[in-house]
């Protein structure tokens, strides 16, 4: 970890128990077990920013800001995230009471507009530290647990149907995953749909979700949605570009398969606008969109109030970022679609000591104080990008 933003000793000692005395950041590059392709980006190394928060009582907490192959899935890159935390977000909350979650979130939002991935990672580290300082799980700050585990989906994204079938069968045999998301949009639509048909035929009884990552037009959707319905696909994610709201609503209205809103809605008002425009009936929750755990809980409430079902989304976070998402997902009154936090399993290194368990097609929420994870400092050192 480097370039810590800190308060000097005398000030720190004079402070009441849980003041924020340091926010440290490091860029990590973690190789993945295989190439992961999306319509607009791909990775073989997952780069994130790891945040460490330190309180005046000595408690520390951890957070993770994910991207996907640079500023492509969204506008943030790890280089920008680190710079914005070090230069703007950390100085805005140093010295503040770590338990003033909402006030700290307001200070961070004022210090950096949008920058949701950066702010979300800092808030996760603060809640983790606060939990450790009080001996409480972060879910205690989020209304408590409603569920101990949830269905977890795996994403197939090499583009080679035979490889994806073999990979899915391994996950099935290991009783880790039985619901699969197929990433589309990097092959011509007809080829993509044929690939989905091949995979669905080879995995009878498995639920198939398709994520197009904005790659289709209305005309393409008109042509290929009926075939995806025939194949038995259960959910279509972000088929059209976020700005094409009317076209998406027309497609959602004629589709027998529900649409899921992903990149089209980051903030509460964007969720409400998409729901009102009927662009989808399921919403994908992500920290890189909400910019905070409390804000993600609010996003869930807004989507649910508008009649949308909820899906626990990810950006291939490792165990630290996954633990932050699970704390919110465990506390939601409803989470109809479970989650897709397979990130810790596609990464070749785990930066924690494996507190997140995948068993019987479920991901089990860690139970310890804070986010319930502990850092493997050797692994962290090995993957930390050298200055
Ligand atoms: C996305 O668009 O949902 C999540 C899983 C995956 O394969 O890609 C990410 C982002
Ligand atoms: Mg998506």
> Rounded to the nearest whole angstrom, what is the distance from the C-alpha of residue 259 to the centroid of ligand 1?
15
For 198-236, write each residue's pLDDT tens digit.
Answer: 999 999 999 999 999 999 999 999 999 999 999 999 999
Cβ atoms of 180 and 206 closer than 8 Å: yes
Cβ atoms of 347 and 43 closer than 8 Å: no
pLDDT at residue 342 in the model: 98
**Ligand 1 near 340 CB (within 6 A):** yes
Residue 263 CA: nearest ligand 1 atom is: 2
Q: In angstroms, rounded to a whole number, what is the distance separating the alpha carbons of residues 176 and 287?
A: 24
Work out the pLDDT band at 6, boundaries 50, 70, 90: low
pLDDT at 15 over 70: no
Q: Which of 380, 292, 240 is nearest to 300 (CA)?
A: 292
Work out the pLDDT band at 13, boundaries 50, 70, 90: low
Q: In angstroms, rounded to a whole number, what is the distance separating the alpha carbons of residues 209 and 227?
A: 14
Q: Kindly list the catalytic residues.
A: 183
For 307-363, write each residue's pLDDT tens digit.
Answer: 999 999 999 999 999 999 999 999 999 999 999 999 999 999 999 999 999 999 999
pLDDT at residue 204 in the model: 98
Q: In angstroms, rounded to a whole number, what is the distance separating the alpha carbons of residues 271 and 251?
A: 18
Work out the pLDDT band at 10, boundaries 50, 70, 90: low
Q: Whose CA is nearest to atom 7 of ligand 1?
A: 155
Q: Which of 279, 247, 250, 249 is nearest to 265 (CA)?
A: 279
Cβ atoms of 380 and 351 closer than 8 Å: yes
**Ligand 1 near 262 CB (within 6 A):** yes
For 297-309, write each residue's pLDDT tens digit.
Answer: 999 999 999 999 9
The length of the chain is: 387
Q: In angstroms, rounded to a whole number, what is the distance separating the alpha carbons of residues 315 and 211?
A: 13
Enclosing H/E stretch for 247:
helix 245-254
pLDDT at residue 4 in the model: 52
pLDDT at residue 1 in the model: 55
pTM: 0.96
**Ligand 1 near 325 CB (within 6 A):** no
Residue 284 CA: nearest ligand 1 atom is: 3
Enclosing H/E stretch for 196:
helix 189-202
For 155-189, write each residue's pLDDT tens digit.
Answer: 999 999 999 999 999 999 999 999 999 999 999 99
For 241-294, write each residue's pLDDT tens digit.
Answer: 999 999 999 999 999 999 999 999 999 999 999 999 999 999 999 999 999 999
For 112-132, write each residue's pLDDT tens digit.
Answer: 999 999 999 999 999 999 999
Rg of the chain on CA atoms, in Å: 20
pLDDT at residue 387 in the model: 77
> Rounded to the nearest whole angstrom, what is the distance from the C-alpha of residue 247 to the centroid of ligand 1?
22
Pocket test for ligand 1, best of 183, 210, 287 (most atoms within 8 A of CB): 183
């Amino acid at each position: 970890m480097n370039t810590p933003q800190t308060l000097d000793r005398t000030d720190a000692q004079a402070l009441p128990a849980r003041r924020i005395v340091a926010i440290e950041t490091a860029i990590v590059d973690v190789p993945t077990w295989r190439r992961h392709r999306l319509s607009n980006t791909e990775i073989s190394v997952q780069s994130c920013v790891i945040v460490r928060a330190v309180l005046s009582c000595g408690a520390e907490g951890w957070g993770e800001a994910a991207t996907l192959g640079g500023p492509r899935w969204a506008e943030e890159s790890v280089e920008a995230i680190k710079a914005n935390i070090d230069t703007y977000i950390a100085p805005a909350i140093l010295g503040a009471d770590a338990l003033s979650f909402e006030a700290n979130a307001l200070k961070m939002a004022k210090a950096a507009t949008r920058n949701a991935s950066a702010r979300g990672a800092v808030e996760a580290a603060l809640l983790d530290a606060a939990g450790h300082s009080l001996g409480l799980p972060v879910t205690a700050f989020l209304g408590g647990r409603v569920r101990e585990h949830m269905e977890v989906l795996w994403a197939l994204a090499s583009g080679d149907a035979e490889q994806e079938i073999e990979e899915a069968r391994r996950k099935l045999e290991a009783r880790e995953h039985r619901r699969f998301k197929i990433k589309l949009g990097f092959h011509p639509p007809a080829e993509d749909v044929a690939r989905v048909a091949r995979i669905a035929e080879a995995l009878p009884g498995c639920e198939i979700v398709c994520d197009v990552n904005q790659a289709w037009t209305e005309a393409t959707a008109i042509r290929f949605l009926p075939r995806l319905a025939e194949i038995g696909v259960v959910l279509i994610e972000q088929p059209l570009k976020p700005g094409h709201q009317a076209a998406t609503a027309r497609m959602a209205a004629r589709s027998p398969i529900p649409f899921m809103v992903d990149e089209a809605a980051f903030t509460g008002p964007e969720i409400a606008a998409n729901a009102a425009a009927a662009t989808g009936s399921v919403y994908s929750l992500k920290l890189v969109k909400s910019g905070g755990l409390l804000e993600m809980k609010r996003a869930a409430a807004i989507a649910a109030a508008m009649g949308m079902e909820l899906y626990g989304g990810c950006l291939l976070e490792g165990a630290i970022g996954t633990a932050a998402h699970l704390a919110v997902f465990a506390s939601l009154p409803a989470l109809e679609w479970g989650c897709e936090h397979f990130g810790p399993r596609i990464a070749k290194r785990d930066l924690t000591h494996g507190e997140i368990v995948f068993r019987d097609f479920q991901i089990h929420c860690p139970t310890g104080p804070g986010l319930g994870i502990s850092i493997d400092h050797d692994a962290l050192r090995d993957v930390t990008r050298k200055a």
